[in-house]
Every structure is written in C-alpha cells, then in structure tokens.
Amino acid sequence: MDDKTEVKYLRVLVDNGFSDVPESRLPEIEQGLAELDVSNIGSITSFGSDTQKHMAELSQMVINNLNSSTVNDIDELMQKTIETLVDINDNPPENTPSILFWKKRNRSVAVRKQYDEASRNVDRIAEVLEDHQVRLLRDCALLNQLFSLNEEYYQDAAVKIAAVKLKADELRAEAPDDDGAVEDSWRNTIIDRLERRATELATTRVISRQQSAQIRMLQANFAMIADKLQSALYTTIPLWKSQIVLALGAEHARAALQTDRSVNEMTNRLLVQNAENLKNVTVETQKAYGENSIRPETLAEMNRSLIESFDEVMRIQNENRIKRESVEKELSRIDRELQSGIIRD
C-alpha cells in the first residue's frame, strides 16, 4: 500500500470520526474493498456481518455471565440470625423446674444452644458473602476481557464502514455508461445498498460504544460491591462473632452466679429439712421407747377370747352328750322291738 492510498484511507477515517483507529489496521480497509465485489449481490449483504455476529455473541456472553453470577441468597439467613440474637436478649429462656437441682435444664444451656446456632448462621453468611465476592471479582475480570473484545469489534466496524464508503465513492466516480440507463440505475442501486450497509454498520458501532460504557459501569458496580463485601467479611462478620463470644461469656458468668445462688439456697433448705426430720425422728423414738411392747388391753382381749372359747367348748360337749344319750335310747327301743317280733314268730 503506497503513501497516497494510506493518506486516502486516513482521510476517510478522520472524515467519519474514526480517528481512534490505529494506522496498523489500514490494510484491513484495503482487504475490505477487495471483499466488496459489486458483481456479487450477496457480498454487500454479508460484508461486516461477522462483526455484527460477534457483537451479538458478545451481548449473549454478558447476559449468560450475569445469569450464572447468582449465588445463594442470604437475606432469609441473615433475618433468622438477627431474630435469634434479638430473641435471646429480649426473651431469654426461663429455667425449667426439676426435682434434682443439679440436673435442671437451666437458661444457660438454652442460651448456649441459641448462640451456637447463631454462630453457625454467621459462618454460613460469611461463606455466602465470600462466594459473592469471588464471583464478582471473577465477573470483573471476564467483563474486562469482554470490554477488550468489544473495543476490537468497535474498530472493526469503523474499518468496514470506511471500506464501504470508499467503495461507494469509487462507484460514484465512474463515468456514466453510454450503453444506456440500465447500468446507471444498477450502479445507483449498488451505491444505495452500500450506503445503507454503512448506516447499519454505523448503528452497530454506536451500539458497541454504548455496550462498552455499560460494561465499564457494570465493572465499577461489581468492584464497589466486592469492596463492600470485603469490609463485611473482615470487619462486620468478625465483629458479630466477637459480640456473640462476649454475650456468651456474660451468660456463662450469669449462669455461674445463678448456680452459686441455687447451691446456697439448696444447702440452706437441706439443712433446715434435715434438722426438722431429725427432730421428728427423735420425738417418735422417745414415744416408742416409753410404751410397753404388749399393751394390757391386748392381754385382756386375749383373755376374754380364751374364756369365751372354753365356755363354747363346754356347751358343745353337753349338747353332744345329750344327743348321744338320745341316740342310745332310740337304739335300745329298736332292739327290744326286734326281739319281741322274733319271739312271737
């Protein structure tokens, strides 16, 4: 490519506002002019379509990246953790009564379980925040690559627009055809198609420029959110954990004091109860010691029962004797009757 051609290409780029295209890409304009074969109807239609296709693919890549950037939502987990911490402070669990005070399920056990759950939730929140941060930083790196590709496609569009405009200028510079108006009309149609193609590529270039701004804006948002998450991971989360540790330590101290009071109260109660029990046992023992083993009433009752038994035995014996005498008399009578009958016979 000679200097004259190079100057012509640079003038076209500057006239169309493409001064940001480096001189190293001037040969691509010449290559584009070679691709624009006006004798081939389809060459104008397909010219620059690769750049437009790449732009569409780039947009889809951005969309796919954003769709895959989601990680687990932590709103519900954070709300549950906050509610747990607030509930511990505002509505502490009451002591559960028990017969054996040393086996009593006290408030400290329940509070410790709640703080353990809150601590595990905080760890899960930290993991989710870290996942967010890693994904955001990864997205920033990917968006930076996409921005570079978009800038390349932006310059590709400028190069192809310049080639289309140069081709249109070449056709306008051609002398009218002496053979008739048909070829002139066809040439004008080709020029119109080239101008329309240049407009379409210019639209693609504007879209590319807008997309570059959007990518940078998205990168900035991702970077700021990643910085915010960094602060949450290394400031807020450790603060939460330290506060949970302090609150649990305070609960342990309160539980120790409560246990000491319970032990003292139970000790005093046991001393009073044992003294009362000892008094009652002593009184009952002295009463039992002063009484005879067999009471006189018991002996009198037993004597009365024995006398009644003797009287009853004598009565029964007399009745039996009377019955035997009656039986004997009856038997004698029967015997006499029997003997009288035998003698008569």
Rounded to whole angstroms, the Cα distance separating 194 from 37 reads 11
Phi, psi of 99 (to 5 degrees): -65, -40
Q: Is the pLDDT of residue 147 over 50?
A: yes
pLDDT of residue 272: 92
Among 17-31, 222-236, 248-262, 319-333, the minimum mean pLDDT is found in 17-31
Q: Which long-range contacts (CB under 8 A, 24 or more apart) does 95-99 make?
A: none
Q: Which structure tokens are listed for 104?
A: 């009593």
Q: 192 with 164: CB under 8 angstroms?
A: no
Q: Is the pLDDT of residue 99 over 50?
A: no
- For residues 125 and 327, the model is more confident at 327
> Tens digit of pLDDT for each residue in 53-79?
877 777 777 777 666 555 445 566 566
pLDDT of residue 337: 86
Q: 172 with 191: CB under 8 angstroms?
A: yes
Q: 178 with 29: CB under 8 angstroms?
A: no
Q: Is the pLDDT of residue 100 over 60?
A: no
> Tens digit of pLDDT for each residue in 116-131?
777 787 888 888 888 8
> Tens digit of pLDDT for each residue in 164-194?
888 888 888 775 655 567 777 888 888 888 8
Reported confidence tier of residue 151, pLDDT bands at 50, 70, 90? confident
Question: Amino acid identity, residue 143?
Answer: L
Q: Average pLDDT in the 27-52 region?
A: 78
> Tens digit of pLDDT for each residue in 290-322?
766 677 788 788 888 889 888 898 999 899 889
pLDDT of residue 177: 59
Q: Is the pLDDT of residue 95 over 80?
A: no
Q: Which structure tokens are listed for 62?
A: 């951005």
Concatenating the DSSP letter of every residue in 62-113 gives HHHHHHTT-----HHHHHHHHHHHHHHHHSPPPPPP-SSGGG---HHHHHHH
pLDDT of residue 103: 42
Reported confidence tier of residue 88, pLDDT bands at 50, 70, 90? low
- For residues 187 and 16, the model is more confident at 187
> Tens digit of pLDDT for each residue in 207-220?
888 888 888 888 88
* Average pLDDT for the chain: 78
Rounded to whole angstroms, the Cα distance separating 226 from 134 reads 8
* Residue 164 burial (CB count, 10 A): 27
Rounded to whole angstroms, the Cα distance separating 251 from 109 reads 10
Concatenating the DSSP letter of every residue in 118-185 gives HHHHHHHHHHHHHHHHHHHHHHHHHHHHHHHHHHHHHHHHHHHHHHHHHHHHHHHHSPPPTT-HHHHH
pLDDT of residue 92: 52
pLDDT of residue 86: 67
For 25, 51, 58, 200, the CA distances from 21, given in Å and listed in that order, are: 7, 16, 21, 19
